[in-house]
Amino acid sequence: MASVTYDHVYKRFDDVVAVNNLSLEIEDKEFLVLVGPSGCGKSTALRLLAGLEEITKGTLKIGDRVVNDIAPKDRDIAMVFQSYALYPHMSVYDNMAFGLKLRNYPKDQIDERVKTAAEILGITSLLDRKPRQLSGGQRQRVALGRAIVRDPQVFLLDEPLSNLDAKLRVQTRAEITKLHKRLKTTFIYVTHDQVEAMTMADRIAVMNFGVLMQVDTPQNLYDRPNNLFVAGFIGSPAMNFFNAELVQEDEDILIKTDAFAVKVPEDRRPALKDHLGKPVVFGLRPEDIHDPNFAPPRIIAQNVEANVDLTELMGNEIFLFLKSGESEYVARVDPRTSYKMGDQVTMSFNMENMHVFDKETEQVIR
């Protein structure tokens, strides 16, 4: 097993910088997820590690070994792609064994590894079938099995669930998480789906325009985003943002928008004093906007008037699409809420969980 280190890594395609000064240490046996929108550089970063793209500048290590100039087949990694890339004329067994045969492993060792991997993935009964006889989920497990038999130092997974339907995606991501715990190997997983990232990762690295924006545990990313991009990308529905200004009023500091003003909790005021009179972005997650009738006890609440544009009943919760002045936002409220489309209502903002970002730099103000 091995750690992975990106040390000031760049990748340029002509005038496009796909990976921009990436420095990231991935610990041995860690499950790290690279997440971000399409074109953010996450797959390129993975392909650099696999040796499928050449590094423009910087150093890449697997364990203590610099792999910049080492051929992909000698890096001791295994990669699972979005496309299953199975050989249609071969059985499941032969698809899984093919890489080992190319490396001249003994027949009995190939047999042992394939059968062990098949047992881990629950596909022992499928070993004699051809890929066309398999479902999408079964094909994905075969692709995973082909990686497992290699017994690599690092597993690389590039959006492996994108071709599966929603139900199967949930099931397969749980299987991959269990597989990581069982194999105790370093996993690096690329996805654009932040729900996958939140549910699977030990740590998440968020990228945008080739730049690493923040790396942390899922909960810390959710609770303490460093900037507007991370705050808006992590969480579903996304964090609500309001253009605002910080205003002093007697002993209070107010966050003032075009439609409402809310008081900053006392313990948060010192960090904001240097930004008085300056434009900021006020952020609040949908679950921190409540129907006052069902708000949790002992929160630091500020009431805001709003119009209900739309409601979405989700069964265990209701999404309210609201408008205050020119600001549109979403609340995730108790299912007992009786608000209907067109109602003028009062919403309760939980200011304990507020976020304030510098309008110019987009960095969080702490």
| Domain extent listing, the chain | 4-233, 240-358
* CATH 3.90.1150.10 is right for the domain spanning 4-233: no
Looking at the predicted structure, is the pLDDT value of residue 237 above 80?
A: yes
Mind listing the pLDDT tens digit for each residue in 261-276?
999 999 999 999 999 9
**What was the pLDDT predicted at 167?**
83
Compute the average pLDDT of residues 71-92: 89
Compute the average pLDDT of residues 349-363: 97
Which pTM does this prediction carry? 0.91
Question: Do residues 58 and 148 make contact, with C-beta atoms less than 8 angstroms apart?
Answer: no
Phi, psi angles (nearest 5°) of residue 122: 70, 35
Compute the average pLDDT of residues 335-360: 96
Looking at the predicted structure, is the pLDDT value of residue 1 above 80?
A: no
Question: Do residues 100 and 128 make contact, with C-beta atoms less than 8 angstroms apart?
Answer: no
**What was the pLDDT predicted at 137?**
85
CATH value of 240-358 in 2.40.50.140, 3.40.50.2000, 3.40.720.10, 3.40.190.10: 2.40.50.140
Compute the average pLDDT of residues 44-73: 95
Question: Do residues 231 and 239 make contact, with C-beta atoms less than 8 angstroms apart?
Answer: yes
Helix (H) or strand (E) holding 244: strand 240-249
Helix (H) or strand (E) holding 345: strand 344-350
Dihedral through CA 156, CA 160, CA 161, CA 163, nearest 10?
170
Mind listing the pLDDT tens digit for each residue in 155-184?
999 998 887 788 888 888 888 899 899 889
Question: Do residues 325 and 259 make contact, with C-beta atoms less than 8 angstroms apart?
Answer: yes
Intrachain domains 4-233 and 240-358 with the same fold: no
Mind listing the pLDDT tens digit for each residue in 301-319?
999 999 999 999 999 999 9
> How far apart are alpha carbons 33 and 190 in whole angstroms?
6
For residue 41, what is the DSSP state? Answer: S
Compute the average pLDDT of residues 110-130: 92
**What was the pLDDT predicted at 169?**
84
**What was the pLDDT predicted at 259?**
93
